[in-house]
Amino acid sequence: MNTAIGSFDRVTAAGILARAALAVENEANPAAQPTVPNEEAIRARVIEDISRRYGISAASTLESREKLCDALDQESDALLDPVNSEAALERLAKKGDLPSDLYRVEIIPHIAQFCGKKFANEQRLIEETVRAPDLEQHYGPPKNPHDPYLISIFTKTFHDKYPTKSFIMLVAGARKNLTLEVHQAWRLYPEDLGSLVGVTSPLDMLKKFAAVFGTDMTIGDQHGKFILLGDVPDGHGVHVLGKLPVIKGKTKRTFTISFFRQAQPEFGPHKAALVVGIDLDKYRAALETHGW
């Protein structure tokens, strides 16, 4: 227990932490008023200690205040009941602030079907990418109708002694409490994607991948090989435009359309986020070229 509240019983100590979180969020909140002697000084010591332990800078920005509130809530929940600590972690996950090594990673069957006998190794790489990414990008809870929500994208470079076998693993998943449901996992070989100059975020990498291996799609009134977010009117979905390219004399191609369903009634029609239509034959051929 934090030394500043170590002399109090667990319920009283948890109350001090909870009121401190309310005060950080809004000092005018009546529920944040002190109820024990010298509580404001105790809160100051608690906040100083927690900020140091959680690596939170002074609560001068909205982001740092939110992180401090989450840390205070987590400490409070842990005092009251060990089971409640999961609720605090779920709040962090909803905001995209949960350390990625705490997610339970679940991979949709389509990825396993594509990988076949190689899935066990691919699963290991996917989990390593999530738990120790080089880059990560998170969309928080739904706040407006123009952004995806509760989606995370991770990338990690895996080096090989043969440069042509080195690649970037890109993983995109939907956050559901403490579970990350992985819908997309792609190997990005730099030489297949051309120049990566200016491609600095996981989202930009996904766009680049879709530009090379994707097929044109339409969703609502949007068209392209990558669509960040589009309306899906009732009874309609994502459609492929025109004919797929003919490669090696084949007219029948295997492709997948992958996206995250976003259902938030207050924002209107159902939406599809991070929509890509990938030519799996072309992608598999590229993998095999690199020794997959």
d(CA 232, CA 217): 13
| Domain stop point among 97, 125, 150 | 97
Report whether pLDDT(22) > 80: yes
Query: ∠ CA(99), CA(102), CA(105), 5° rounding?
Result: 115
Are 117 and 87 in a shared domain?
no
Q: How big, in percent rounded to 5, are the helix, strand and coil portions of the chain?
A: 45, 25, 30
pLDDT at 286: 95
Are 108 and 71 in a shared domain?
no
Contact 271, 230 (CB under 8 A): yes
Strands 217-219 vs 222-224: parallel, antiparallel or unpaired: antiparallel
Are 152 and 260 in a shared domain?
yes
pLDDT at 284: 94
Report whether pLDDT(83) > 70: no
Whole-number percent of the chain with pLDDT over 70: 86
Report whether pLDDT(248) > 50: no
d(CA 226, CA 191): 20
Q: How confident is the model at residue 64 (pLDDT cuts 50, 70, 90)?
A: confident
Report whether pLDDT(56) > 80: yes
pLDDT at 121: 95
Report whether pLDDT(39) > 70: yes
What is the reported pTM? 0.67
Are 130 and 75 in a shared domain?
no
Q: Give me the number of domains the chain comprises.
A: 2
d(CA 172, CA 163): 25
Asked which of 55-64, 189-198, 232-241 is least confident by mean pLDDT, the reply is 232-241
Collapse the DSSP code of 214 into the 3-class scheme (helix H, G, I; strand E, B; otherwise coil) and give the result. strand
Are 264 and 134 in a shared domain?
yes
Give me the helices (H) in the chain, please: 10-25, 39-54, 62-80, 85-95, 109-115, 119-131, 190-193, 202-213, 280-289
| Domain stop point among 97, 126, 150 | 97
User: Token pair of 174, please?
Assistant: 């939907």
pLDDT at 240: 45
Report whether pLDDT(106) > 90: yes
Q: How confident is the model at residue 268 (pLDDT cuts 50, 70, 90)?
A: low
Are 164 and 65 in a shared domain?
no
Q: Write out pLDDT tens, residues 158-190.
A: 999 988 899 999 999 999 888 999 999 999 999
Over range 114-136, report the average pLDDT.
93
Contact 119, 111 (CB under 8 A): yes
User: Token pair of 66, please?
Assistant: 């939110």
Q: Write out pLDDT tens, residues 195-226.
A: 777 788 999 999 999 999 998 888 777 888 99
Q: How confident is the model at residue 235 (pLDDT cuts 50, 70, 90)?
A: very low
Are 57 and 115 in a shared domain?
no
Are 72 and 112 in a shared domain?
no
Asked which of 46-55, 111-120, 236-245 is least confident by mean pLDDT, the reply is 236-245
Are 138 and 22 in a shared domain?
no
Are 187 and 278 in a shared domain?
yes
d(CA 16, CA 205): 45
Are 229 and 131 in a shared domain?
yes
Q: How confident is the model at residue 241 (pLDDT cuts 50, 70, 90)?
A: very low
Are 88 and 204 in a shared domain?
no
Q: Which residue has the higher pLDDT, 2 or 50?
A: 50
Report whether pLDDT(269) > 60: yes
pLDDT at 208: 94
Which residue range forms the structural domain that includes residue 87?
Answer: 3-97
d(CA 168, CA 176): 25
Kindly list the distances between the CA atom of residue 169 and the CA atoms of 70, 122, 128, 207, 224, in Å, as whole numbers in the listed order. 30, 10, 10, 14, 23
Query: At a CB cut-off of 8 Å and minimum separation 6, what does 24 contact?
Result: 47, 59, 65, 68, 69, 72
Angle between helix axes 10-25 and 62-80 (nearest 10 degrees) is 160
Report whether pLDDT(15) > 80: yes
Q: Which residue has the higher pLDDT, 251 or 170?
A: 170
DSSP 80-103: H-GGGHHHHHHHHHHHT-S-GGGS
| Domain stop point among 43, 63, 97 | 97
